[in-house]
Structure 1
């Protein structure tokens, strides 16, 4: 489960040391060794804050924090822990805990990102089988950048990607078989990356066949309540076909 760790500096209980312990060892231990800390960052001081309210349709801006308090949020960390007790143990080891306070809040229940992204990849397979360009385009963000195999030439934006898909389908006589293997996924909050081997097979209108296996790296971005593809790069071994997608075998 994900937890937001709010690092609160200041307070009356104990004066902050002149030279507090460095936070880097804590970050290194929880990030690299234990893979508990997903990410985090320091925040500018309260004096640099801007507070925004809307009253009667009017936007009211106040320079400074929401309220004058001795404790303030100095930074945040996002933790992935099996239990609340594990999150408490991680927070207690933070250097600021010795003179400030660490507030732990669980993230609201959310849809499992890995399940959603795997569903997205399955949608691409079905769209290829049904030769449905629009169904495939629904998997991509409007500003997606795609680098097809062999040519490596960038296709930028959903309109260009749609035209490229239509041109490719015009050379195909029937459904496209898309087989995915060795699918590996890493999710980090609203960004994710996958690596997979994708074999694509289809009959060509000229009587030949398309059959190749490409290494595909895909970047995803969460937008609202759905994931979309924002970057995709495919590569095939030297000697593949010159159409930028598949090896041609007659």
Structure 2
């Protein structure tokens, strides 16, 4: 089964990191990503640009409305994702717990819908 692991973090805190800390975090993610590629769990994954680059789209009464920025103001923002293949939820949760951001942010684990 496929699971989407949504990575949430504080953009404000991330912005405060110095170059050395960012380099170390990037190395952690590189090692994690390689480990799930090698284990066969990796399907896809990427980081996202900051919420300041986001555009929210809504269609109301047939009219398309766009707003700069995210849908809602929150303490943590969606910063990236991994799509993984896992035999069950417990395996997906174990993978999510290894994502570097899990120690300071949060990881939302959601099963991907299967359509017949």
Shorter-chain TM-score bucket reads 0.7 to 0.9
Which residue in the other structure is 2:30 paired with? 24
Of Structure 1 and Structure 2, the greater helix share is in: 2
Query: Given the alignment, which residue of 82, 90, 98 partners 1:93?
Result: 98
Secondary structure of the equivalent of 1:96? helix
TM-score, length-normalised on structure 1?
0.41
Structure 1 position 109, deviation (Å): 2.1
Q: Structure 1: which 5+ residue stretches go unaligned?
A: 112-250
Match of residue 53, structure 2, among 48, 52, 77: 48
Q: Structure 1 runs of 4+ off > 2 angstroms?
A: 15-18
Task: Please state which structure has a larger fraction of its residues in strand.
Answer: 1
Which ranges of structure 2 fall in alignment gaps of 5 or more residues?
none
Shift of residue 58 of structure 1?
1.4
Aligned to 1:3: 3
- Alignment partners' CA distance in 1, 2:45 and 2:115: 20
Counting only pairs closer than 5 Å after superposition, residues 107-126 of structure 1 correspond to structure 2 as: 107-111=112-116
Query: Does 2:80 match 1:75?
Result: yes
TM-score, normalised via structure 2 length: 0.84
How many residue pairs match? The answer is 107
